[in-house]
Amino acid sequence: MKFAEHLSAHITPEWRKQYINYEEMKAMLYVAVEEAPSAETVEPDEVSRHFTRFDEMFFSYCDKELLKINTFYSEKLAEATRKFATLRSELSLSLQQKGRAKRKTDVPARKLNELKLAFSEFYLSLILLQNYQNLNYTGFRKILKKHDKLLAVDLGAKYRTEHVEAAHFYTNKDIPRLITETEATVTQELEGGDRQRAMKRLRVPPLGEQQSPWTTFKVGLFSGSFVVLFIAVVLSAIFHEGGGTNLNTAFKLYRGPLLIVEFLFLIGVNVYGWRSSGVNHVLIFELDPRNHLSEQHLMEMAAIMGVVWTLSMLSFLYSASLSIPPYVNPLSLAFIFLAFTVNPVRTFRHEARFWSLRIMGRMVSAPLFHVGFADFWLADQLNSLVTVLLDLHFLVCFYFSNGEWIEAGAVDIHNCSGGEMFLLSRALVNCIPAWIRFAQCLRRYYDSREAFPHLVNAGKYSTTFFVAFFTLQRTLTRDEYETEWDNPYLYWWLLASAVNSIYAYTWDIKMDWGLLDKRAGENTFLREEIVYTSTSFYYFAIIEDLVLRFSWMISFALVQAELCSNDLVTSVTAILEV
């Protein structure tokens, strides 16, 4: 891996502007070499003067970068020193209370646990600062070495010796001392002299820690199995004669779980993209840096769940041959997914599952709690998973309204397709993700008293309620008019949908992504600073988001022209939205 990529992948996001500007300095070197006059056409003195002027500018830039890094390091070191003194003082006070306690039960256990967590977080901050030292020194060493190589001089090596290796951020040894003292304090005072236990609490995985070969093997094994089994499902659904009319119902029962599998896999892809581009998602989502899922763990879970999904689907298709009631299969699949999620046993990624459940609990409780980044990020994802909720709603309705579902021939889905109560409850389910975000925006306004952006963002989600209302009215009154075009609710639905799409797309581009910035410079129509190195990702996202936000128009046109069914269009759109 090139150093520029290594630096980008391992910086602390909040400190992004405080690191050495390695890419800019490298670009300066290449431009200087390209713009240098040819020794064949000019006097050697002119070439020498060109590089002398460049060196003055280049080393002046190095001085500014060095000053920036020294200043920032000194500030963070002072913060760390004060923090350590505060923690030691609090620990000393707690231990004095412990000494005065008459019984062991009098010890302020909660305070000691809080101190253990505080020391753990402080230790992490020291490791991040130590990494800051190492990355910046390595950056200077490599860029100065590149300078000497391209210009065939040794000025870079001299600058490194005289300035970089004499700089405060490099010569200062307070961080290793604080790390050692923190380890000793936690070991002796909080873990009763058990160093192994103390280091288990404090240890931070090294930067760029490699994945376990066993995990990589499982990802490949289950992913390959899923692909093969999925092809078998498709071929069986097309050519096997055992499905019959049950396929339309099975399609709705199985679509939601498959979208969950896709969602998990794409989250893994996202984590890989974040990590590769230097986005510290562990810090942003407030995950435990010592125990969290990597992209391979997420892909592994998605692949395993995908295999379970395909086996259930094959069992449904061949239920007659297996002598299994067909509708036992989708119900069993739903229970397997549910059991995996809420399983209280400390196995199968227990910490990650219960972290997700806690976030979901806070999410559905909006606006009762303060809204963190993970809360509204997951709620935003839920807005892309509306089809999953609607399919879950159909599944519940199907099994509760069909007492004889064990017998495939006795199944009646009328109550789960056109009944008034079904349509009303479906409209409410459709509004759940938008309501959660709406409530979160109101809570954020309550906490910050900032009408913009929170109330404006709440307005965006409120438009979904109007779309759902007019969709419901349009469906309920459909039989009252000779043609659908005579129904006034159709036009109200079209208007509400258009407002919703325009509002949401504008917000996506300008506020959520910060694109179309006039100060974008060379990143035309984007923003001044971009996370991903390739601008094509952003341009593709702009176009894709436009298509998806207005996909209801495509769906409406295709259904009206009777070119395909609404379920098929919904499925394609749902897959893309995830």
Beta-carbon contacts of residue 328 (< 8 Å; ≥ 6 apart)? 319, 406
Quote the tokens at residue 172.
């200062």
Give tens-digit pLDDT for 106-119.
446 777 888 888 89
Give tens-digit pLDDT for 39-77.
777 788 888 899 999 999 999 999 999 999 999 999 999
Query: Residue 37's pLDDT is what?
Result: 86
Q: Which of 208-222, 522-536, 562-576 has the lowest mean pLDDT?
A: 522-536
- Average pLDDT over all residues of the chain: 87
Query: Residue 316's pLDDT is what?
Result: 93
Compute CA 169 distance to the chain's CA centroid, rounded to the nearest angstrom.
Answer: 33
**Smallest Cα–Cα separation from 390: which of 431, 440, 356?**
431
Mean pLDDT within 164-169? 95
| First-last CA distance in the chain | 31
Please say whether the beta carbons of 183 and 198 come within 8 A. Answer: yes
Mean pLDDT within 326-349? 92
d(CA 125, CA 433): 36
pLDDT surpassing 60 at residue 482: yes
Mean pLDDT within 452-459? 93
Angle between the 174-185 and 109-151 helix axes, to the nearest 10 degrees?
150
Mean pLDDT within 416-431? 88
Please say whether the beta carbons of 114 and 91 come within 8 A. Answer: no
Give tens-digit pLDDT for 151-162.
989 999 999 999
Model confidence band, residue 570 (pLDDT cutoffs 50, 70, 90): confident
Query: Residue 133's pLDDT is what?
Result: 95
Model confidence band, residue 286 (pLDDT cutoffs 50, 70, 90): confident
Query: Residue 106's pLDDT is what?
Result: 46
Mean pLDDT within 69-91? 95
Quickly list H helices, 318-348.
319-322, 328-342
Exposed e or buried b for every residue in 97-115, given b needs 16+ CB within 10 A?
A: eeeeeeeeeeeeeeebeeb
Query: Residue 105's pLDDT is what?
Result: 46
- Answer whether 0.85 is exceeded by the pTM: no
Mean pLDDT within 203-221? 78
Cα–Cα distances in Å, from 343 out to 215, 285, 311? 22, 23, 22
Beta-carbon contacts of residue 287 (< 8 Å; ≥ 6 apart)? 281, 355
Residue type, 567: D
Give tens-digit pLDDT for 362-384.
999 989 988 988 999 999 999 99
Give tens-digit pLDDT for 484-512.
899 999 999 999 999 999 999 999 888 87
Percent of the chain scoring above 70 in pLDDT = 91
Q: Omega of the bond prior to 213 within 30 degrees of 0, cis?
A: no
Query: Residue 538's pLDDT is what?
Result: 83
